[in-house]
Amino acid sequence: MAQHRVATVDEIRPGERKIVQLEGRSIGVFNVKGTFYALRNVCPHQGAEVCLGSIGGMTVCGNQEDGTLSELRFEKAGEILRCPWHGWEFEIRTGKSIFNPLGCYIKNYPVTIGQKDVADGETLRVETYPTSVEEKFIIVHL
């Protein structure tokens, strides 16, 4: 599995994204509340650059025991990506569509946070514990 250093963690603030080209693919790297996710920048509907779409949440309606609808709630703030062409919505964390999560999705890629090894300058180790290393890089695995 190829590893690509795409940014430092400080370059992509919470709620923001960075579009990168990796091995001929356009990929959006998102920071959702401090956790990073990578999605292929192609909408499954008609091929739009989906990662350029708006980032928000979604309104859901609860159900009462008798089957009637109850209150509306706003959920997943900052976790929903909306395609700029036709408004199709996808969860950034999984790439799954809101309307058909089992049948329609955006390809997602594993992301790890590597740290610069002071001895050799390489970025290979996965961060698992708090560290005092100053330079951290976001790594997408294809």
Helix, strand, or coil (residue 20): strand
> How do residues 76-107 score in pLDDT, each as one tens digit?
999 999 999 999 999 999 999 999 989 999 99
Q: Residue 60: its pLDDT value, please?
A: 86
- The reported pTM is 0.78
Burial (CB count within 10 angstroms: exposed 0-12, middle 13-18, buried 19+), residue 38: buried
Q: What local confidence, expressed as pLDDT, does residue 72 receive?
A: 86
Total residues belonging to the chain: 142
Nearest-angstrom CA–CA distance, 119 and 85: 47
Please identify, in words, the CATH class of the domain defined by 3-141. Answer: mainly beta
Query: What residues contact 38, with CB distance under 8 A and at least 6 apart?
Result: 27, 28, 29, 30, 108, 109, 110, 111, 140
Domain ranges across the chain: 3-141
pLDDT tens digits for 6-24?
A: 999 999 999 999 999 999 9
